[in-house]
């Protein structure tokens, strides 16, 4: 009765093999590395970049241990920390000629030392949380009301323009909180206005009510539209944050949405919070200016003359100089959206801009007066401007919908739109949580967590072996397998390991042994009641299973509650806790039974099992059942 069919052993063997494989990368430790990633949305890291990195390293006489290109970044693994610094300098010199305007981010990083065949099967070490590796954590709250108010503001301007264009007379448009109120003299004009709103403003819903002898139309943003606006605002803020963080030279920044209106930013390894905060909070500005097309300006653009008075020289993305007048026509404040798309007639790639009412009025005037001339859109960041695009004005553009097209690929259109949008934050943000952990504290925390788990494990294993003899050995092995599987699953999920997570690991082991104690006590009890050893093992396991299942379910309920409602450190704890319960059910029951079956199951006439002393009250004497079974 204590035999497992072959397939059960196969499952155990596979679980152990997979567990060992995925746990393995955690033991190789990390090697110093240099990571090269894109510093700008318009620059892609590709195999060409990899060649340049290789050449730069060869020129500097550094032999890297490995160069990996993972689609987004190039990671160069080196053998010593000294070489890492040298390699960083060499790569920096080759790829970033102008440090004030870096096309690439060259950052120091740590890379797993695990061999490539492990990486090939997707086995990677657990990701260490900030409390274990040091760094900065920010939680930013996006002011969604401000985003909505801004949108309503721009919509009310648009509505004013639309009503004027259709010659619908009204006696005043005003914004009241997050609604737009328009007053009309009579019902006919109100109906006309309603039709316009229904036709042109898909995001608005209207309610009308008579007010005195006038009629008031109140327009609000639809709930679905409001949600879209908020989502876009959040996304745009994240893109902007990404761009800004790039220049900090952080190897693996984490920028995540949390909840409806929060963004979590984690910068491992960064210690200078002041600088990080400064960069996160900075606003980039967008400006629209005219290109100086006077003969002097053209001479300066060709590089044959000085930059004329009242103009400035900026570089386009392809490093071509553009001479731009100093007078600013429009700023990013008037830009409400920028999306990539296609020209309606030519099907060329294009970028569609939306301007608010004030912006479109200015834009119409400027374009009317400057047909055939060039206009430059500049992006200012860190006080340095760059020409995003400098198209020729073909005709007067009214209505606030601007299309930039011509000589552009789809990717370029995408990048330009992104740059234009990323120029500014869609909604103001506020830091509501901030954590800095020094690198030495991180290393100490790893050691503390590791020591807790190790010592706890060893003492429990020793106790089990003394108290339950051979069954204690089985239980200890099962506990070890539990730890192995737990680490393997966490590595597979690429979960972030934090100090509370390590505490949960220790606790999971402490609770997992519960199942084995239950089983062993049950087996002893059966023996005490006079069952034969084989029958005692069988009934012991079977009877204990119900109890183990019940108690694990209740523990799991608590774990899931923590997972749902917990945030930050508690969630890290809860993930490990829940997975630990699940793996313990496998190892403590299924796996340990396998061991017992393997050891005792095939013995035909089993007389004694080694489970420590089984004390019998009836006889008054103790029957020793210790010693090797068989």
Q: How far is the CB of 592 from another protein (least distance, A)?
A: 15
Contacts 24+ apart (CB under 8 A), 441-450: 441/131, 441/134, 442/128, 442/130, 442/131, 442/132, 442/133, 442/134, 442/135, 443/134, 445/131, 445/132, 445/499, 446/128, 446/132, 448/499, 449/132, 449/499, 449/502, 449/503, 449/505, 449/506, 450/502
Q: Which stretch binds another protein (CB under 8 A): 51-59, 203-211, 371-379, 564-572?
A: 564-572
**Contact set for another protein, span 483-502 (CB under 8 A):** 499-500
For 194-246, the DSSP string reads HHHHHHH-TTEEEEEEEETTEEEEEEEE-HHHHHHHHHHHHHHHHHHHHHHHH
Q: Which of residues 569-598 bind another protein (CB under 8 A)?
A: 569-570, 573-574, 577
Report whether 25 contacts 117 (CB < 8 A): no
**Residue 244 beta carbon to another protein: minimum distance, rounded to whole angstroms:** 16
Which one of residues 81, 97, 438, 630 is an interface residue with another protein (CB under 8 A)?
Answer: 438
- Please say whether the beta carbons of 271 and 438 come within 8 A: yes
Among 9, 27, 28, 565, binds another protein (CB under 8 A): 565
Q: Please identify which residue in 121, 185, 542, 607 interacts with another protein, judged by CB under 8 A.
A: 542
Applying CB under 8 A, among 116, 327, 395, 554 the residue interacting with another protein is 554
Strands (E), 241-365: 254-258, 262-268, 285-291, 311-315, 321-331, 335-342, 349-355
The first and second tokens of residue 29, run together, are 């430790």
Q: Should residue 371 be labelled a site residue for another protein when binding is judged by CB under 8 A?
A: no
Least CB distance from residue 410 to another protein, whole Å?
41
| Interface pattern 501-540 for another protein (x via CB under 8 A) | --x--xx-xxx-xx--xx--x--xx-------------x-
**Closest separation in Å from C-beta 574 to another protein:** 7
- Residues of this chain, 100-119, that bind another protein according to CB under 8 A: none
| 9 vs 615, beta carbon nearer another protein | 615
- Whose Cβ is closer to another protein: residue 316's or residue 521's? 521
Q: Sign of the CA dihedral 118, 123, 127, 132?
A: negative
Binding to another protein by CB under 8 A, coded x per residue (else -) over 260-279, reads: -------------xx--x--
Q: Does 441 contact another protein by CB under 8 A?
A: yes
Q: Kind and range of the H or E element at 81? A: helix 81-95
Cα–Cα distance for residue pair 319/596, rounded to 1 Å: 73
In this chain, which of 4, 69, 467, 590 binds another protein, going by CB under 8 A? 467
Q: Coil, strand, or helix at residue 344?
A: coil
If one asks whether residue 466 binds another protein (CB under 8 A), the answer comes out as yes
Cα–Cα dist 68/482, whole Å: 33
Cβ distance to another protein smaller for residue 307 or 446: 446
Cα distance between the two ends of the chain? 16
Tell me if 257 contacts another protein by CB under 8 A: no
| Residues 140, 247, 231, 225, Cα dihedral to 10° | 120
Site for another protein in 224-253 (CB under 8 A): none
Taking CB under 8 A as the criterion, which residues in 126-185 touch another protein?
131, 139, 141
Q: How many CB atoms lie within 10 A of CB 627?
A: 11
Window contacting another protein (CB under 8 A); options: 44-52, 70-78, 550-558, 582-590: 550-558
If one asks whether residue 463 binds another protein (CB under 8 A), the answer comes out as yes
Q: Tally the C-alpha atoms within 13 A of residue 74's C-alpha that lie toward its C-beta.
A: 24
- Segment near another protein (CB under 8 A); pick from 114-122, 303-311, 318-326, 431-439: 431-439
């Amino acid at each position: 009765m204590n035999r497992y069919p072959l397939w059960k052993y196969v499952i155990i063997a596979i679980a152990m093999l997979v567990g060992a494989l995925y746990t393995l990368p955690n033991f190789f430790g990390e090697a110093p590395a240099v990571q090269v990633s894109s510093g700008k949305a318009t620059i892609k890291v590709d195999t060409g970049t990899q060649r340049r990195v290789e050449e730069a390293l060869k020129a500097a006489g550094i032999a890297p241990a490995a160069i990996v290109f993972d689609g987004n970044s190039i990671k160069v693994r080196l053998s010593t920390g000294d070489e890492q610094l040298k390699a960083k300098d060499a790569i920096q010199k080759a790829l970033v000629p102008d440090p004030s305007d870096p096309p690439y981010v060259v950052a120091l990083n740590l890379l797993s030392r695990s061999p490539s065949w492990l990486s090939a099967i997707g086995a990677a070490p657990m990701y260490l949380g900030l409390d274990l590796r040091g760094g900065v954590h920010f939680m930013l709250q996006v002011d969604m009301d401000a985003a909505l108010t801004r949108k309503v503001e721009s919509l009310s301007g648009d509505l004013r323009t639309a009503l004027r264009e259709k010659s619908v007379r009204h006696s005043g448009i005003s914004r009241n909180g997050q609604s737009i109120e328009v007053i009309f003299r009579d019902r006919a004009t109100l109906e006309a206005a309603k039709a316009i709103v229904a036709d042109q403003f898909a995001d608005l819903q209207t309610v009308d009510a008579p007010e005195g002898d006038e009629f008031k139309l109140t327009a609000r943003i639809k709930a679905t539209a409001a949600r879209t606006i908020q989502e876009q605002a959040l996304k745009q803020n994240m893109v902007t944050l990404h761009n800004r963080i790039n220049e900090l030279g952080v190897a693996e920044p984490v920028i995540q949405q949390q909840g409806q209106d929060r963004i979590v930013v984690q910068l491992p390894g960064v210690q200078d919070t002041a600088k990080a905060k400064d960069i996160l909070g900075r606003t980039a500005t967008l400006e629209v200016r005219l290109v100086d097309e006077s003969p002097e300006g053209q001479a300066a653009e060709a590089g044959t003359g000085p930059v004329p008075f009242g103009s400035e020289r900026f570089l386009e993305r392809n490093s071509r100089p553009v001479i731009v007048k100093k007078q600013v026509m429009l700023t990013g404040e008037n830009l409400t959206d920028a999306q990539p798309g296609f020209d309606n007639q030519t099907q060329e790639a294009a970028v569609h801009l939306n301007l608010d009412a004030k912006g479109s009025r200015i834009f119409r005037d400027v374009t009317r007066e400057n047909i055939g001339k060039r206009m430059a859109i500049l992006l200012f960041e860190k006080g340095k401007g760059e020409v995003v695009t400098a198209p020729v004005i073909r005709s007067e553009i009214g209505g606030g919908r601007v299309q930039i097209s011509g000589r552009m690929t789809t990717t370029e259109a995408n990048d330009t739109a992104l740059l234009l949008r990323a120029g500014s934050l869609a909604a103001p943000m506020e830091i509501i949580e901030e954590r800095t952990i020094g690198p030495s504290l991180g290393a100490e925390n790893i050691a503390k967590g590791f020591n807790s788990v190790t010592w706890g494990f060893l003492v429990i294993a020793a106790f089990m072996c003394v108290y339950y003899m051979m069954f204690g050995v089985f239980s200890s092995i099962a506990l070890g397998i539990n730890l192995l599987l737990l680490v393997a699953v966490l590595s597979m999920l690429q979960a972030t390991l934090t100090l509370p997570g390590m505490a949960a690991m220790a606790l999971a082991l402490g609770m997992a042994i519960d199942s084995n104690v239950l089983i062993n006590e049950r087996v002893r009890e059966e023996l005490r009641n006079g069952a034969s050893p084989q029958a005692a093992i069988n009934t012991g396991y079977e009877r204990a299973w119900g109890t183990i299942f019940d108690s694990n379910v209740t523990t799991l309920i608590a774990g899931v509650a923590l997972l749902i409602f917990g945030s930050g450190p508690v969630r890290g704890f809860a993930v490990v806790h829940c997975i630990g319960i699940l793996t313990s059910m496998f190892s403590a029951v299924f796996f340990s039974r396998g061991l017992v079956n393997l050891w005792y199951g095939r013995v035909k006439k089993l007389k004694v099992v080694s489970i420590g002393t089984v004390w019998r009250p009836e006889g008054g004497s103790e029957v020793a059942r210790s010693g090797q079974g068989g």
